[in-house]
Every structure is written in C-alpha cells, then in structure tokens.
Chain A
Amino acid sequence: MDLILTEEKQTRISEIIDRELIKNGVEHVFLVDTAGNLIVEKGNYPLEDVLPLAALSAANFGATAEIARLVGEEDFTLLFHKGEKYNLHFTKVGDQFILVILFGKNVSLGLVRYKINKISDDLLNILMS
C-alpha cells in the first residue's frame, strides 16, 4: 500500500504525539511503515539516527512476526526492549504501521502503554482516512 501524507494529516498526527507523549517526557516518537519508511517523527534525536532506527524497527518487527508464526501466533502486536538509560517500545498500528517510542527512566512503562492504547486508533484513522 502506497501512502500520501497531506500537511493536514501530518499536523494532526504530530499534535497527538506531542500532546500525549513528548509533553509527558518521552524522548522520541516515530511512526514507520512495515517497509521501513519513516512517516512521522518527533523528539530530540537527530534525524540521521532516526532513519536507521526506523529501518531496523521495521525489520525487527518483521522478524518477530516470523517468530510469532513459528509458535502458532498470527502476530505479536508489541515489543519492548529495556536498556540501562533508554527503553524502546514498539506497537503495531493497524497492519501497515509501527509506533516506536524511545523513553528514559523518567517515564514509566505503564504510562507509555496507557498513552499508546489511547492514541493508536486515532493515529490509524488519520493515516487511513
């Protein structure tokens, strides 16, 4: 599926990400498609680091989907990597998109998951409209 993102959609998505995640202390948020294209990104990380992160996130999710199939699951809908300073949370949004959230110790995993539940449907509706 090809995608054209209009300025209006881009603004609406950015506003949601900013309001619900960045303003709550999350370091960086980006939305990629399953082919590795970076759709929207917001936060403090430099773009040159976000681009490979986007490609690797899509690949990571793709590989995990294969693992899921091998154990008889259709898909794993979220992934979580815990680090010393930073954590990464990946959530599938619809069939085509992955929401990736980079956050530090100042933000709890519970808050991140709560916010994701709150916004994923809205993000998908905007992307698919």
Chain B
Amino acid sequence: MAFIDLAKKEIQVKIVYYGPARSGKTTNLLYLYKAMSKNVAGKMVTIDTKGDRTLFFDFLPLNIGKIKDLSVRIQLYTVPGQVIYNATRKLVLKGVDGIVFVADSLRVQRQKNIESLMNLEENLRDYHIDINTCPLVLQYNKRDLLKANFPLLSIGELEEDLNARFKAPAFEASATVGFGVFETLREITKITIRSVARKLLG
C-alpha cells in the first residue's frame, strides 16, 4: 500500500526482496545498509534464527532524496526463503508496491528458483495483485562464483526459466561483493515510484 503524505510532501513505498532460501536477499540489504550513509539508510532490523536464517523479515528504511517535489521514503523488506515459512512470506507481502526477485545462480538451485517464483505469483494473487503488472526486477545473484568454477546457470537459462513471460529488467549481481546491488535497487525504485505516482496522482 503506497502512501503519499501531502503535508510533508513525502511518498512512501514498500519494496520486498523475494526469492528462494539462501539466494542472498538479506545480503543485499546488509550490503546497502553498510554502503549507504546514515542520512540515507535508517536502522536495519533483522529477525533471524541462531543460524542466521531469516525467520520473519529484514527491514531497512531508506530516504533517497526527492523525485519531482516529493521526498521518497523506501521501506525495504526481505522474506524468509525457507519453504515452510509461507505464512510469514505472505504477511510481509501485504501492501507491497514493488518486488525484487533474487534468484540463486547456482545450477543446483534451478528448481528452487522456479518454485519460489511460482510461490510469489500465488501469494500475490491472494492479495489480488497480478505479477504481470506489479513492478518487478530480477536479480541473478552469486555471479562472482563463476570465477571460482562453481557450476552456475547461464544468464540465458535464468532468463528462460524466470523471465521469459515477464521480460522484466534483470541484473547480474553479487550481493557479497556488491556489484549489481545498487543497480537493482535503482531500477526497482524507479519503476515502483513511477507506478505508484501514476496510480495515486494520475
């Protein structure tokens, strides 16, 4: 649910990082949190288990300056990737304005990526959101592992598995190293704000 405060001239949007377990959703947020100045990134909240697996969600508020006359406040969330936590995933998706789907480039995770995307589509449908019209950006994470000779899916394979239908903007990334992280955020912010502004301000 997007929110525009005309008194403060501020727009608030909610962007959720979705994807299979261990694909790097939390790592994306942590990278942004560490790389951004305190004027931009607020306090990050993580609710995880002892083994550093996300139990409920991570949350990072960003204040990224102005677009036209409105200050833009972005609330970034991650969902728990583990299959059993679907109720929690659904809860975090409530009121979502834009989605980053973080796919795991490891070849062994191919099916998990596809299942997670199907799960996203299903959960969105329960909120009457159509994945085809919702702002969406894909991120093919862990591309740095190519150098270490890990068997990775090619970009062509990932595109065919996950993006053939949507033709959404997609970025190669490594959330641990940091490349592609800002590009992903920049793109999802741009298309989400555009979609919200069109919806709310006409």
Interface size class of A (residues with CB under 8 A): 20 to 34
Task: Enumerate the 3 nearest inter-chain pairs by beta-carbon distance, A residue then B residue, closest first.
Answer: A35-B95, A10-B7, A7-B7
- Pairwise interchain contact B2-A5, C-beta atoms closer than 8 A: no
Q: Which of A5, A51, A52 contacts B3 (CB 8 A)?
A: A5
Number of A-B contacts (CB under 8 A): 87
- Pairwise interchain contact A37-B75, C-beta atoms closer than 8 A: yes
* CB-defined contacts of B200 to chain A, threshold 8 Å: 2, 4
Mask, A37-75, CB within 8 Å of B = 1, is 111000000011101100110010011001000000000
- Pairwise interchain contact B42-A2, C-beta atoms closer than 8 A: no
- Pairwise interchain contact B56-A10, C-beta atoms closer than 8 A: no
- Pairwise interchain contact A52-B59, C-beta atoms closer than 8 A: yes
- Known A37-B12, A52-B43, A52-B61; judge A62-B4 contact (CB<8 A): no
Interchain CA distance A62-B59 in the complex, whole Å: 15
Q: Which of A4, A10, A55, A66 contacts B87 (CB 8 A)?
A: A66
* CB-defined contacts of B2 to chain A, threshold 8 Å: 2-3
- Pairwise interchain contact A34-B95, C-beta atoms closer than 8 A: yes
B69 interface residue (CB < 8 Å to A): no
Interchain CA distance A6-B8 in the complex, whole Å: 9
Q: Which of A3, A5, A35, A51 contacts B43 (CB 8 A)?
A: A51
- Known A51-B42, A52-B43, A62-B94; judge A2-B1 contact (CB<8 A): yes
For chain B residues 116-137, which have a beta carbon within 8 Å of chain A?
A: none
Interchain CA distance A55-B12 in the complex, whole Å: 13
Interchain CA distance A55-B56 in the complex, whole Å: 12
Other CB < 8 Å A-B pairs besides A10-B8, A36-B14, 9 of them? A2-B1, A3-B1, A4-B3, A5-B6, A10-B6, A39-B5, A51-B42, A56-B59, A66-B91
For chain B residues 45-93, which have a beta carbon within 8 Å of chain A?
A: 45, 56-57, 59, 61, 75, 77, 87-88, 91-92
* CB-defined contacts of B77 to chain A, threshold 8 Å: 36, 55
Q: Which of B42, B61, B92 contacts A59 (CB 8 A)?
A: B92
- Pairwise interchain contact B75-A55, C-beta atoms closer than 8 A: yes
For chain B residues 160-202, which have a beta carbon within 8 Å of chain A?
A: 196, 199-200
- Pairwise interchain contact B3-A48, C-beta atoms closer than 8 A: no
Q: Which of A11, A33, A52 contacts B45 (CB 8 A)?
A: A52
16 A-B interface contacts by CB (under 8 A): A2-B1, A2-B2, A3-B1, A3-B2, A4-B3, A6-B7, A11-B7, A35-B14, A35-B94, A36-B14, A36-B59, A37-B75, A51-B42, A51-B61, A52-B43, A96-B1
Interchain CA distance A48-B91 in the complex, whole Å: 23
A1 interface residue (CB < 8 Å to B): yes
CB-nearest residue of chain A relative to B1? A35
